[in-house]
Structure 1
Amino acid sequence: MRVTTRARRVAPLPALAAIALLTACGAQVEPTSGADDATTTTVRRCAEPVEYTVPERAVVYEGGSADKMFALGLTDHVHGYVMPPANPPVSESPWAAEYEEVELLSQDLLNRELVVDADADLVVAGWGSGFSDERGITPEILDGLGIQTFMHAESCYGYPVFPERHSPFDGLYTDLERLGQIFGVEDRAAALVTDYRERVAAVQEQAPDGDPVPVFLYDSGTDKPFTAGAQVPPDDIIRFAGGENVFGDLDERWTEVTWESVVEAQPEVIMILDYGDQRAQDKIQFLKDNPVTAELPAVRDDAFFVLDYNEGISSPRNIDGVEKFGAYLRDRAAGR
């Protein structure tokens, strides 16, 4: 493991092109001397300071990465996207028009060959979601190939080299701010973060009175359920809206638990993560038919809330998710 905190430099652009791009974006950065005197800006990649030049051929993995770039108005800097089958159709995205402007590179998992073939100068993904030791595509490997990388701050919790902790929504804000620094659109990023924080605060202010509602997120699984621990956006979505994630005490991201622990928690609302071939209605029907879960308070009361996949992973759409769930809990409280 490396222990130095000196900023690392990867994939410099030609100096004049980099300066022109930064000037156009309004970025204020200090030049860093090197072989080609390229202008760089130092931004943290998880806990590691890294020197970035402005990318022009970014490859983004999954909807969360793409949506962060699109929300910041950086479509022109995105070459293409990789979208595994779990993701809902991009035509359903608020940024459907932006997706049409860039190339679909693959509907499989992110891999090194794809990135190299795309002549990428930046890869945006999460640790364990996109980047992976097992699949041989890590920031360190891509550094050696001269390809810059950006990791979602929310996923830095599990990064073994330079780990860094953020609550899930703070991770979203951090990503927007850091991408804003890399691309010289800090003001745009700051405005987005301010807007998102205000929208979340409004949901918190309107949360139903009384004790938080116990909520179980059901991702998938029949023998054992897959759910959300404290390190993924649904935990914040549930908490900010006025609920309590019944597995929020697990210092994990997406994790497997037991049906016995779900029954013990007695959730009053079940949040269903909707994606790919894991249809929400099929999951709801399973919970109703399964004798172990059929008598849970949420199942008896038909208290199911469907969360879109891209509202549940680190994405600007987390804000939509918390607003929708906040409205659901308020309506539920008013109906009692």
Structure 2
Amino acid sequence: MAMLGALLALALPAQAATTYPLTLDNCGVAVTFPAAPRRVVTIKSTATELLLSLGLGDNIVGVGFQDGPLPEHLATDLPVLSEKLPSQEVALEAEPDFIYGGWESNFAADGAGERSTLARLGVATYVAPPACRSVQPPRLTFEALFAEIAEMGRIFDIEDTANALIAEQQAVLDDIDADRRGLTALWYSSGIKTPYVGAGNNAPAMIMQALGLANIYADVDDGWTSASWEAIVDANPDIIVLVDAVWNSAEQKKLLLAENPITSQLDAVIHQRYLIIPFPAAEAGIRNVPATADMAAQLARLDFAE
């Protein structure tokens, strides 16, 4: 796949160098970069993994709030500032000129610092666009994810590298065939008494649509939502997507579903019709495309003959 990406990149026109100062609108905030960032703090796995995928590991001076181990092809040692959200004081100790956050809520007075405060201190900030809340993002698409990659290419003056990565991801996406059996699905993220599930406008919706699955909570205009087991049983989805998190594994979810008197009667539970996705791949980011390809392969192996 790396060779395919390189060949596709050769077919793309060379990009002009970024002109600095570069000013971008990010979640309704004007962010100015006087030069390509050299010292970056990343918060959340989505931010860390995108920069690593662009070959920018040497620029990362600290990470916080990582959602799980790095995928094998990106594995490297990075300075961990905090297992959870680092405070402004801790983040600034790394002397960053750029903080890249996976959630807008990362930039709060009791978190890494408010964006306006950090700007006055000479630290540029960026929120992953699908995670904007002050400005409501449109329904997530793979094209929007690719636009974030392209924007990082502009920020770091590596547009050719960003375009090569986009081409590689697009090639993987193009090879995914949507299932045509008309299957319904539940995206089970977390929760025991009250399940937290994938809804209609973020990564779960985007991935399920690419797989050809009808999300039973597609009409909820949000990325995720609280649901009820009774409503889920009434919908009786053909498939259940299980998010595999360190703190709530897919195996724990399977056990819960099988032992709960209500959910144990679901066809998907009885016949073990599950798709598994790691938590860091379940949020909008660089892992979505390969995760969708992997889930398509899982889906193709499921037996509906019973």
**Greater mean deviation of Cα atoms: 136-145 or 238-247:** 136-145
Any conservation in 2 of the 1:207–1:241 contact (CA below 8 Å)? yes
Matched, 1:210 2:194: no
Aligned match of 1:137 = 113
Aligned match of 2:252 = 282
Cα 1:56/1:89, change in 2 over 3 Å: same
Aligned match for 1:88, one of 58, 64, 68:
68
Aligned match of 1:111 = 87
Q: CA RMSD in A?
A: 2.2
**Unaligned 5+ runs, structure 1:** 1-25, 31-38
State the secondary structure of the residue aligned to 1:219: strand
Partners in 2 of 1:299 and 1:214 — Cα distance?
14
Cα 1:111/1:298, change in 2 over 3 Å: same
State the secondary structure of the residue aligned to 1:294: helix
Aligned match of 1:51 = 32
State the secondary structure of the residue aligned to 2:277: strand
Cα 1:55/1:166, change in 2 over 3 Å: farther
Partners in 1 of 2:156 and 2:97 — Cα distance?
13
What are the within-5 Å matches in structure 2 for residues 41-190 of structure 1? 41-52=22-33, 53-84=35-66, 87-90=67-70, 92-96=71-75, 99-100=76-77, 102-128=78-104, 130-132=106-108, 135=111, 137-156=113-132, 158=133, 160=134, 162-190=135-163
Partners in 2 of 1:141 and 1:166 — Cα distance?
30
Deviations along 1:132-171, whole A, 9 cap, x unmatched?
4664733233223321111111112x2x2x4443515333
Any conservation in 2 of the 1:81–1:103 contact (CA below 8 Å)? yes
Cα 1:65/1:284, change in 2 over 3 Å: same
TM-score norm. by structure 1 comes to 0.80
Any conservation in 2 of the 1:238–1:325 contact (CA below 8 Å)? no
Any conservation in 1 of the 2:129–2:137 contact (CA below 8 Å)? yes
- The amino acid that maps onto 1:207 is A
TM-score norm. by structure 2 comes to 0.87
Cα 1:335/1:328, change in 2 over 3 Å: farther
Matched, 1:272 2:248: no
Aligned match of 1:254 = 224
Partners in 2 of 1:155 and 1:119 — Cα distance?
25
Any conservation in 1 of the 2:204–2:223 contact (CA below 8 Å)? no
Aligned match of 1:294 = 264
Aligned match of 2:5 = none
Aligned match for 1:28, one of 13, 17, 25:
17
Cα 1:129/1:118, change in 2 over 3 Å: same
**Unaligned 5+ runs, structure 2:** 1-14
Cα 1:129/1:315, change in 2 over 3 Å: farther
Cα 1:234/1:163, change in 2 over 3 Å: closer
Aligned match for 2:273, one of 265, 288, 303:
303
State the secondary structure of the residue aligned to 1:188: helix
